[in-house]
Amino acid sequence: MDIKDAVKALGALAQESRLTVFRMLVEAGPAGMSPGVIGERTGIPAATLSFHLKELVNTGLVSSRQVGRFILYAPRIDRMADLLDYLTHECCGGHPELCVPVAAVAVPAPRRRAKR
């Protein structure tokens, strides 16, 4: 990722509705979500949601695909990882051993069940 792509992605995410939608799509994973479900959960009107989804697709952080009559939107995890990598490249003054991997911070470890 270069600086122009990073600025474009960060600019898209620097808007409350788009950040909310993006986080919701990341939670949904590769299966994605339809605009109807996203709209129901966020309360964003359809026309406004369409604009925000288009902006996220234009950054490459979100993809869209046709499934029957529906369009599903899903996060581009590879692009999100590229952005995180760009932001943390040369972390800690060139001492990456001092930095915790971003995924370890961003994704909590699964809870373990107590042994009985």
CATH value at residue 21: 1.10.10.10
C-beta separation of 74 from 63 below 8 A: yes
pLDDT at 108: 47
The structural domain count of the chain equals 1
**Residue 114 belongs to a domain:** no
Tally DSSP H helices, then E strands, for the chain.
Answer: 7, 2
The per-residue pLDDT for range 48-65, each reduced to its tens digit, is 999 999 999 999 999 999
**Residue 38 belongs to a domain:** yes
Domain that holds residue 40: 3-106
**Residue 111 belongs to a domain:** no
C-beta separation of 38 from 49 below 8 A: yes
C-beta separation of 42 from 48 below 8 A: no
Give the model's confidence band at 84: pLDDT under 50 very low, under 70 low, under 90 confident, else very high: confident
pTM metric for this prediction: 0.81
**Residue 87 belongs to a domain:** yes
